[in-house]
Amino acid sequence: MIKRIVKLTFRPEEIPAFLEIFENTKAKIRASEGCQHLELWRAKAPENVLFTYSYWESEDHLNQYRHSELFKATWAKTKVLFADKPEAWSVT
């Protein structure tokens, strides 16, 4: 199993837009083959930093999702809201 942590730094005024995107896609992401868990976390400070935390059966499953139309469409809507470059870690 792989755990994936993605740090997302948004322009503060864009957080509601991202929360709506996440709300509308979380069930689909959770239903992706190999996804065992997905959460959204928000930093206490600064409040415009959010994290996605997910479990994947394998790196292949994660990569399959990352190359899916769902990811591409979601990422296209999300990346325009960033204040800083996203960071991601895969951990075991």
| pLDDT value, residue 90 | 96
pLDDT tens string 12-45:
999 999 999 999 999 999 999 999 999 999 999 9
Q: Which CATH class is domain 2-91?
A: alpha beta
Give, as one character, the DSSP assignment of residue 14. G
> What whole-number distance in Å separates Cα of residue 13 and Cα of residue 2?
32
Average pLDDT in the 58-66 region?
97
| pLDDT value, residue 45 | 96
pLDDT tens string 64-85:
999 999 999 999 999 999 999 9
Domain parsing of the chain, residue ranges = 2-91
pTM of the entire predicted model: 0.94
| pLDDT value, residue 39 | 98
Tokens of 6: 């993605």
The answer to whether 5 and 68 are in contact (CB under 8 A) is no
SS3 of 38, please? strand
> For residue 43, which phi and psi values (nearest 5 degrees)?
-65, 145
| pLDDT value, residue 65 | 98
> What whole-number distance in Å separates Cα of residue 32 and Cα of residue 86?
22
Confidence category of residue 59, pLDDT binned at 50, 70, 90: very high
Q: Is the N-terminal amide bond of 16 cis, ω within 30° of 0?
A: no
Give, as one character, the DSSP assignment of residue 60. H
